[in-house]
Structure 1
Amino acid sequence: MVTNLDDIALLSPLRYKNTSLKLFLVIFGLLAGLFSNTPILPFFIAVCMIAATIIFGKVPVKFYFKLFLTLLGFALVSCIILAFFTHGDNSQVLWSIDILWWTFSITVDSLNQAVLVFSRTINGLACIFLLSMTTPMLEMFSYFKRISFLDIFVELSMLIYRYIFVFLETAINIQSSQKMRFGYKGLKNSVRSLGMLVGSLFVQTIEQGDKLYLSMNSRCYTGKLPFYTQKYKIKVADAAVSILFIGLTAAVFVYTRGYQFF
């Protein structure tokens, strides 16, 4: 059963597409949406990215939108607050309310700004989801290693990412055994069990670090970790779709420049 983004990425057909091309399209989509002065372009890019992730990447629709809408809820709250507190000079007031000694109002400028920020948020989430749900993290680490992007940072990130799941699984197993022994029955037992859980994880973290250092030295570790890199060629169809996407994005940018909803 699929439980995390790495499982999704490993099963995605887009995993076998060129990593450089995917990274370029994601960065292009992020920057195009970020520098757009109209919400139309970020919405357009987001629709393209969502469609590519679900249709071509074969990502489960329920899983995708459950995660997408969960993160989008936080952005929606922030944009609503932004609509109340971002006012332009001499802007038309659309709605206001008096609460005690304060007057909260929504103006045309603040509403347009909130919609623009919301569209950029959707665009950013869609672009990041395309990359994270179609490219396993180990392939991303090996790609950055191949282009010599801060080797020590990439190696540390890979090790941290690996041991996040190791200690998460350990914590779940310890917590399950504690629950079977009624370790979380009552406030006193819950606090004591939680303390034992944290202490046990801390000890195991130190032990795993020592074991990792010993195993790396026994394998002639010289300060750099070798990465196996799987290279995928850019096919003609992939290049054509990418050029089409860039061209449509440029066209939408030109024809919707300066457009506002309100």
Structure 2
Amino acid sequence: MHETLEEVQMTSRKPINGDLKVYFSLFSLLFVVLSGKVSVYLAALAIFSALSIYAAGRHYLRLMKVPSYFLIPSAIIIAFFIPGSSISIPLPISPTKEGVELAFFTLMRSYASLSVLFFMILTTSIPEVFAALKRLRLPAFVVEMSLLVYRAIQVLMDELDRLDRSASSRLGYASKRAFLRTSSLLAYSLFMKSLERSEKMNMAMESRCYSGEMPVRSEESSGYALCLVISLVLIALWLEVGA
């Protein structure tokens, strides 16, 4: 039976609870992006992947599969087309040393950031995100836009899962040629379906008298020790490499 992202969020195991979960995820995401250290990227990817697998199991792997379709080809392009000293390999076009290094750095930074973001997505519902952001005294416009983006990601993932299962049941990935054709059709269909679902979501919110204000839920935070340990590990790696 197919599970929606909302059902996964409600049934997932949560090593961190309450507003702390949102604040810690946002802090970790910001720290990982700004650190500029491959060791921090690798540690964040390993830690938050383990937390996400503990929380939601195979659902995390399914989420990570989607951006891989874009990240890996982009990294290959970077490796081959960044100017620098060529690496001798038996191919018509050889990658450059600088390109490979930049491609690896970009790939690790992207996957590390996504692992943090997906941990929050898999364990945090929209009301929890809204409540945490509202308690930070952020402007109402910022909170509303954040919620709409967050909800759009959920809609996009649900729609992609439906299209992917439909294509698989029709042997859309039976060969390499069929895979490429199916992928291109899925990309187009996903764009059109996401617009349609977004319009329906907006109509549903308006029919429920949504005007930018949502009820705030309250939940006691827990998992402070785990957050402290993870933060210390990431900071220690950043300071050690930077020293």
**TM-score tier (shorter):** 0.5 to 0.7
Give per-residue Cα distances to partners, 1:49-89, cap 9 Å, x unaligned: 0111222x2x12x332122123223101101101122234x
**Do the aligned partners of 1:142 and 1:228 also contact (CA within 8 Å) in 2?**
yes
Q: What does the per-residue CA deviation read over 1:191-220, in whole Å, with 9 as the maximum and x for residues that have no partner?
A: xxxxxxx9xx89x96xx57972xx64xxxx
Question: Where does residue 87 of structure 2 map in the other structure?
Answer: 94
For the residues of structure 1 that align with 2:205 and 2:218, how far apart are their CA atoms? 30
Letter in 2 for 1:80: I
Tell me the equivalent position of 1:252.
237
Are 2:127 and 1:138 aligned?
A: yes
Q: Which position in structure 1 is the counterpart of 2:11?
A: 11
Check the 8 A contact 2:129/2:147 in 1, yes or no.
no
Question: For this pair of structures, how many residues does the alignment match?
Answer: 203
Cα distance in 2, alignment partners of residues 79 and 156 from structure 1: 30
* Counterparts of residues 112-261 of structure 1 (less than 5 Å): 112-152=101-141, 154-155=143-144, 161=151, 208=203, 212=207, 216=209, 225-234=213-222, 238-257=223-242
1:69 aligns with 2:65: yes
The amino acid of 2:24's aligned partner reads L
SS of the aligned residue for 1:65 comes to helix
CA–CA distance in structure 2, aligned partners of residues 86 and 35 of structure 1: 23
After superposition, the Cα gap between the structure-2 partners of 1:231 and 1:247, relative to the gap in structure 1 and judged at 3 Å, is same
**Mapped partners of 1:251, 1:46: distance in 2:** 16
Whole-angstrom distance in 2 between the partners of 1:28 and 1:156? 19
If the length of structure 2 is used for normalisation, what is the TM-score?
A: 0.67
Tell me the TM-score normalized by structure 1. 0.63
Query: CA distance change for structure 1 residues 152 and 29 in 2, over 3 Å: closer, same or farther?
Result: closer
Structure 1 unmatched ranges of 5 or more: 173-197
Please tell me the residue identity of whatever aligns with 1:87.
Answer: P
Contact kept in structure 2, 1:15 and 1:134, CA below 8 Å:
no
Alpha-carbon RMSD across the aligned residues, in angstroms, is: 3.7
Specify which of 73, 78, 81 is matched with residue 82 of structure 1.
78
- Whole-angstrom distance in 2 between the partners of 1:6 and 1:25: 21
Which structure has more strand as a fraction of its residues? Answer: 1
Q: Name the amino acid aligned to 2:88.
A: W
> Percent identity of the aligned residues?
20
Deviations 1:156-194 (A, max 9, x none): 7768949x97xx99xx9xxxxxxxxxxxxxxxxxxxxxx
More helix by percentage:
2
